[in-house]
Amino acid sequence: MEPMSRVTLDLSRQDCPPDAEDFRAQQCSAYNDVQYQGRYYEWLPRYNDPAAPCALKCHARGQTLVVELAPKVLDGTRCHSDSLDMCISGICQAVGCDRQLGSHAQEDNCGVCAGNGSTCRLVRGQAKPHVSPEKREENVIAVPLGSRSVRITAKGPAHLFIESKTLQGSKGQHSFHSPGVFVVENTTVEFQRGPDRQTFKIPGPLTADFIFKARFTAARDSVVQFFFYQPISHQWRQTDFFPCTVTCGGGYQLNSAECVDIRLKRVVPDHYCHYYPENVKPKPKLKECSMDPCPASDGFKEIMPYDHFQPLPRWEHNPWTACSVSCGGGTQRRSFVCVEESLHGEILQVEEWKCMYAPRPKVMQTCNLFDCPKWVAMDWSQCPRTCGGGTQHRRVTCRQLLTDGSFLTLSDELCHGPKASSRKSCGGTQHRRVTCRQLLTDGSFLTLSDELCHGPKASSRKSCARIDCPPQLSAGDWSELVRRQQPASVSFNATVHATIGSTVYVTNQTVAVHLLCQLVGPGEVTYAWTKDGVPLQPSEKIVLSGAGVLQIRNPTRSEQGLYGCSVANRLGSDVASSPVLFAGTCTDTPDACTCVTRLSLCPLGLCRGRLPAAPRG
């Protein structure tokens, strides 16, 4: 048995040009000049045979004929069209993304071989285009150059298309109406279309910026879902080491990190790299340098570690500034510089890069986080009225919340902002009785204790609208005749003024009675007068005023009776009455004390002490 020969393979680290012919296709086409069953065929490769991936299987163009033309393909042929694994001696061998035979290294989602996914970020979500007949087009999502695993799906009538922009600044629009695989700016795009759905699949990486736009086609909403891995276009790159701090005798040198635009391959300000939270700036590296003794040394001097005889540079900061606010949370700042202590103990300010190894102190911090004094309003008092409007009151004070949760009352000047109102208009409160009752078989109800009813108890009171009160008549005090003192005699005023609801007495000396019907209530008011229930009509003796005044001229016993006043406005109506009594001849003499008492007339004291007080009801 001959010994097995050793096969040495040199796997190229470079991909074949995009226009290079497929290796398996070349092997199939080699049989185009060989007859198969007496005929010539044009043979095309058959890929991804799960049973025999390393056999050369080909199918005839335009035919259903599939033939195994060789038991194994040539060494170096891909086992599958979508992997780097290759056939060696008819056996499929693993090949990693590092192009090493037997390696299982794979590209991460960012396209980095054996990477950890830190050079890209997943972008996913959905957007709702707002297109209309007035706004025909709208940008939906921008997928930047270098993105991978792009999947864009549009659901709805809006038509999705691509606007491309290369690094050189050239632009183009690409619209697809039928499914297929297309090439846009040297990037393969698979377009799928279904009922009310469009899907773009792009393995990537994109060779240009793709802006997906929506175009209006119908008056219905559309939703666009997107998923792709976006490269972090700005990344940190460590610099070379800075010059050594000394030329001899032992020193140190540091390096730093700079932010680089990956696409343009140039250094940019650091804030571009800080945009990505996962993009952590690497820590500076420090190393010893120039460790040879200086020429002035006797050659026997012990070289001590640099941090023993020359302390490392450090940050020195200034005091914090005053807080930006006196309460409620503010900020304060401070500045700092990089300093270094010389061999003679002097503190010198040096370049900031020398302090890159040391943690940078905080530039800003919060301060005065305690709450500011604020207005605290107590609960409103109960509304005093159920209609017509009232006023509620409450106490409003300036208070400071303390750390133990209690409040300290301060003077009003220490609170900022307008003080809350301590009074407001209010309506009223309606009340009702809520009881637990059981319906009996005879149709009556039995009242029970509240505990026997299930479920929440209905409210027994509620706030009601601030409505106007219904009209009501205002009743004054008892009417009385106005008298004047005359020398040596008593006489009476000829006119009696009274308010509805009072009892009016008239005598044969009375010339007129003015009876006032006063309304408390808003809006237009109508008045109607009656005597003994019969409507009054104007006459020589009866004068009716639209202002609610009834005038009785020269009253006699025939005008005696019960006078009623009926008032009404938009809210309702009310009725009140006053009896008018004829007292006949009444003088302030002992013989007329009964009359005088009823009229409350005892100015001379003739009847005082003899008769009971005049009635008031």
What pLDDT score does 14 carry?
63
Beta-bridge partners for 431: 461
Across 129-158, average pLDDT? 90
- What pLDDT, on a 0 to 100 scale, did the predictor assign at position 154? 92
pLDDT given at position 487: 30
Higher-confidence position of 199 and 400: 199
Residue 30: pLDDT above 80? yes
pLDDT of 109 strictly over 70: yes
pLDDT beyond 50 at 328 = yes
Whether pLDDT at 9 is above 70: no
Computed over every residue of the chain, the mean pLDDT equals 78
Q: How far apart are CA 215 and CA 212, in angstroms?
A: 10
* Token output for 425: 């208009």
Distances (CA, A) of 311 to 41, 245, 290: 83, 12, 16
Looking at residue 482, its amino acid is V
CATH of segment(s) 120-231: 2.60.120.830
pLDDT in tens, 545-600: 777 888 888 888 888 888 899 888 777 778 888 888 877 655 555 544 445 444 44
Percent of the chain with pLDDT over 90: 17
Q: Please name the residues in contact with 504: beta carbons below 8 A apart, sequence gap of 6 or more.
A: 479, 496, 498, 513, 515, 578, 579, 580, 581
**Bridge-based pairing state of the strands 542-545 and 512-516:** unpaired
All residues at 6 or more sequence positions from 85 whose CB lies less than 8 Å from its CB, including other chains: 78, 79, 92, 93, 94, 95
pLDDT range class, residue 308, cuts 50, 70, 90: very low
How far is the C-alpha of 483 from the C-alpha of 114, rounded, in Å? Answer: 120
- 345-372 average pLDDT score: 80
Q: What is the pLDDT of residue 228?
A: 93
Report whether 435 contacts 447 (CB < 8 A): yes
Which residue type is seen at 446? Answer: L
Predicted pLDDT of residue 388: 62
The residues spanned by each domain of the chain are: 23-93, 120-231, 239-296+305-319+337-360, 473-598
Tokens of 215: 């175009």
Query: Looking at the domain covering 473-598, what would its CATH class be?
Result: mainly beta
Of 471, 440, 227, 245, nearest to 342 (Cα)? 245
Among the residue ranges 78-92, 125-139, 342-356, 464-478, the one predicted with the least confidence is 464-478
E strands along 350-480, which residues?
Answer: 364-367, 374-377, 390-393, 396-401, 407-410, 423-426, 428-431, 436-439, 445-448, 461-464, 472-473
pLDDT tens digits, residue range 217-231? 888 888 999 999 988
- pLDDT category at 86 given cuts 50, 70, 90 is very high
The mean pLDDT value for 426-444 works out to 68
pLDDT at 12: 53
pLDDT at 15: 66
CATH fourth-level superfamily of 239-296+305-319+337-360: Thrombospondin type-1 (TSP1) repeat (2.20.100.10)
